[in-house]
Amino acid sequence: MITASPSTTAPTLRRNTLHAVVRMRRFFKHWAAVTTAFHERQIALCALHRLEGLDQARIYRSPIDNAVEKATEIYKRRQLRHS
Number of structural domains (the chain) is 1
Look at residue 2 and tell me if it is in a domain. Answer: no
Q: What is the mean pLDDT of residues 42-62?
A: 72
Q: Is residue 73 part of a domain?
A: yes
Q: What is the pLDDT of residue 29?
A: 95
Does residue 3 fall inside a structural domain? no
The number of CA neighbours under 13 Å toward the Cβ of 10 is 3
* Residue 4 in domain: no
Residue 39 lies in a domain: yes
State the residue range of the domain holding 27: 10-82
pLDDT for 10 equals 74
Per-residue confidence (pLDDT) for residue 61, from 0 to 100: 64
46 belongs to a structural domain: yes
As a whole number, the mean pLDDT across the chain is 81
Tens digit of pLDDT for each residue in 13-40?
A: 889 999 999 999 999 999 999 999 999 9
